Amino acid sequence: MKSKKLNKVPVGTYVVLLLWTVLCVFPLYWMFTFSLKENSEIFGENVLGLPRNWMWSNYADAMRSGTLSSGLMRDSSILLGFKNSIIISVFTIALTIVCALMACYALTRMEWRGRETVNNIFMLGLTLPIHAALLPVFLMLKSLKMLNSYQALIVPYAAFSLAMAIMIFGSFMVNIPKELEESACLDGCGTFGIFFRIILPLMKPAISTVIIFTFLQAWNELMFANIFNSERRFSTLPVAINTFFGSYTTKWGPIGAALVIATFPTLFVYAFISRKIQESLIAGAIKG
């Protein structure tokens, strides 16, 4: 009786995990098949099944078309938005990691007056919704003549990612043994030597976590991208897809293809660094 009772637990667990996996994977399956269907299949005839006619031409339409109709950008709105999103995301991640690592090192490993106050000020950023600062940020960028440029998005995105990055780095860095720094100091390492040779190599799992969080914010954000960059040559992928709805209100296949093009890079980034993210989360849980 006991053995049967014990065997039921793993089976139930696997069933729950299987259902949870289906729930997580189904939106991706639906979006992918949606991007390869005609309107008649999308709206009624074959909503959940595989496409009867695999419309790969939807991807060609998505790549060729769009409503970025100003000048040279007309035939490459998705590709242009894809390129701009990559540039902005990469520089946002780099700026966030550099600033957050240095700030976190000073806040967690150095003794100086006002350290707790400065840390609390940084943490206030977690309570501020990014879109609540739309008007002040717009006025500052306008006064600095930074509108319609890559930095018009890179700087605000990095600033709003800083609080989360410092919190993640802090929870990880605080558990690095101070004996390592003391040994390096006895060997002649200065502050920068300790940071770059001892602390930085141990921060890889936390850096991976910050990369995915910052990438998701920069890659998917729409409101700042739509308002701060009115010139089409600086439009990001969410803006390009948003304008797509005006062109294809009667043809939804290319819209689904554009959504797939925008979504799969995120999955690729997560798959590439997922192990490091899990290590960082487990380390934080053990510390807590």
- Distance between CA atoms of 52 and 112, rounded to whole angstroms? 67
pLDDT, average across residues 129-140: 86
Contact 54, 214 (CB under 8 A): no
CA distance 189 to 282: 30
Dihedral, CA of residue 263, residue 268, residue 274 and residue 277, to nearest 10? -60
Given a contact cutoff of 8 angstroms between Cβ atoms, the answer to whether 126 and 166 are in contact is: no
Amino acid found at 272: F
Amino acid at the residue 121: I
Asked if residue 51 has pLDDT above 60, the reply is yes
pLDDT at 70 over 50: no
| Predicted confidence (pLDDT) at residue 248 exceeds the cutoff of 60 | no
Cα separation of 229 and 141, whole Å?
Answer: 11
pLDDT of residue 250: 64
- The pLDDT tens digits for 163-192 are 999 998 988 888 888 888 888 888 888 888
Share of the chain above pLDDT 70, in %: 86
Q: Is 68 exposed, middle or buried (0-12, 13-18, 19+ CB in 10 A)?
A: buried
Q: State how far the Cα of 233 lies from the Cα of 219, in Å rounded to an integer.
A: 17
Using one digit for the tens of pLDDT, what is the confidence trace for 189-243? 888 888 888 888 888 888 988 988 899 889 888 889 888 988 878 888 888 887 7
Which DSSP letter does residue 155 get? H
What are the tokens at 89?
């995301």
CA atoms of 209 and 165, how far apart (whole Å): 9
Residues above pLDDT 90, as percent of the chain: 17
Q: In the prediction, which pLDDT does 288 show?
A: 45
Which range, 64-78, 85-99, 217-231, has the best average confidence (pLDDT)? Answer: 85-99
